[in-house]
Amino acid sequence: MTEAAPASRRPVWVDPAACVGSGSCANVAPGVFRIDEESGVAVVVSQDGAPVADVEEAIAICPVEAIAYLAAGAADAPPSSPQARGI
């Protein structure tokens, strides 16, 4: 039997069109975000690589509000994301 993820653990994604590559999110939650060397923007490397509080801090300090929560239960990032494009 599969247990549902806690309500506080919602998947996040980074909007590559908005991200300016400041690296703040990767500094706060390196287990979740990293800067992609080719694109220069942040990508999500793991949805559960850091405590929820760290993810929320990353969202709060992003200078361009490029990090957003996906709808609960969403399995994939939106098509525009680097993850979805295989970057």
Piece of 43-51, 57-65, 68-76, 77-85 that binds ligand SF4 (CB under 6 A): 57-65
Are 25 and 33 within 8 A, CB to CB? yes
Is position 81 an interface residue for ligand SF4 (rule: CB under 6 A)? Answer: no
CA–CA gap between residue 3 and residue 23 (Å, rounded): 33
Joined tokens for residue 41? 């923007």
- Residue 53 Cβ, how far from ligand SF4 at the closest point, in Å? 16
Binding to ligand SF4 by CB under 6 A, coded x per residue (else -) over 12-51, reads --x----xxxxxxx-------x-------xx---------
Alpha helix (H) ranges present in 1-87?
24-28, 52-61, 82-85
Which has the closest alpha carbon to 62: 34, 31, 29, 22? 22
Binding residues for ligand SF4, rule CB under 6 A, total 16
Contact residues toward ligand SF4 (CB under 6 A) are: 14, 19-25, 33, 41-42, 62-64, 66-67
